[in-house]
Chains A and B, each alone.
Chain A
């Protein structure tokens, strides 16, 4: 059970992530209306937002050091922010500005940070082997840092997932594999893609522990992650945590979500884990409504400053596209 400071910190992370994502909902659509043109506006291209999935990031990253390496997916914002990636530089990168993490070269799906160690990829499941590599390096270097690989339930059917779990198990590597099951691989629900009910059961195929968190509860996630991280850090090898979480928004911004009904979406909103968590914290006296409101205000300010930083930052010189291929 996390202590109260940890609970409040987890809540703060979830709030700042939620505000960041909801702000991006608005910002992303700037310049793209009335007829949606994906190439237009201050944030062009694709946008995959994670509202609803904040508990995963908050619960796992609470155990991590900046030197622990995370690999994440095309939907990376919560893990990046919770791990401590600078929000301003992240926003600037999403806006394609010179001051961004990648000087505008990577964009929202290719956020890279050295400290904290964070990377993500737009190719489903292909970040998982990279995490195995981080853990391999740490083992060889004698560091007790660990690697965490976040991926979706769709990725759990890809070859890279299986190869990675086997390798990590075979070599006793300190990787925590976190499967964020938000039920939807774009428009394909899990029951139509996965041969078994729970991906956590796949851990047994590789001889590693598998844990299922069925209800997007940040505390349950925190506890399971704590065990997995400790196991990895002490050199006992990898673990798999499956978290049933909720994707409140579409797969991408602009997604008409014709594959699920309004009722289904409303039902998700009704069980919004952030709201539930806030309620629990209020009930248990860890965080009053007033304190919660202050957190929201502070986070709104933080996000607003980050977006303002991004907006006012310079765009990279066009010819800089040719630089930086090789070190």
Chain B
């Protein structure tokens, strides 16, 4: 659960103060009452302590910056710290870097390696020489400069974050994917009707998000989260919807998706996708999902093994819907079929419960009236 750390109110007259210094770096685990920052309002300085055990996932105010009393200065992920870096795919570049050993810093200078998005393998996330050498390959010292034909594309912050998050997820979670086929014939027809009624084109993803929201209500275990203290059930059904954007992926979150009917939900999904493609999604809008949906259905992809976005324990991948032969009552008939690929974290969800969840999603999708 995420909790904001606020700027203390030290003065009745002043409105603003200054963040003087941080004593932790983003991503660092913190203990309750641990000293994390020093702030100052007028002439009064004060220490800020972590309100709970957890991980300081994001620093919102930099040293020297002015901040209003009571305004958030950092975000704390409450609970036991997990060694996953804090930033989301769409987060702005980190400005408080991980600690770096002097030798790594020197080598990074020599090899022109950017340390700003790196998380190291040393204690406390310290970047050590080995990390720099690894990051420098293939642009190792003395390497041949690529010829005019091959241009090395520098790693964007998003690319780095995606790379780090996904590899860490693969390392930490016990991922497996279940696939199942949906007979979306009735769904397609319903979508056509709704499109006419609402005056906009309804996309499969809207209905799938709605189905998942409802199914999560019945199967909250799928929306739980792994922690050393135990499985943490979802507080609200917040579902992330992956949107492909230039250079990567952005996953805005629909809050309380189970409380919104298909029309509102659909409109929200469409709206978020639009804003994501135009770069308007803010960081808070991408945080807090307990389940995600990602689609490659616009391509020729039938099924795939989507990767988990930790700490979520499940993600549903959507393949393309198209007419295919199906067998109904012993007859081969053309139906609109679509494969759903559910990747789960087996630490949190076993195969049977996952299958039951997927059954429910499919049952909902094959009975489109139930989605309203």
A and B: direct contact (Cβ < 8 Å)? no
* A interface residues, Cβ below 8 angstroms from B: none
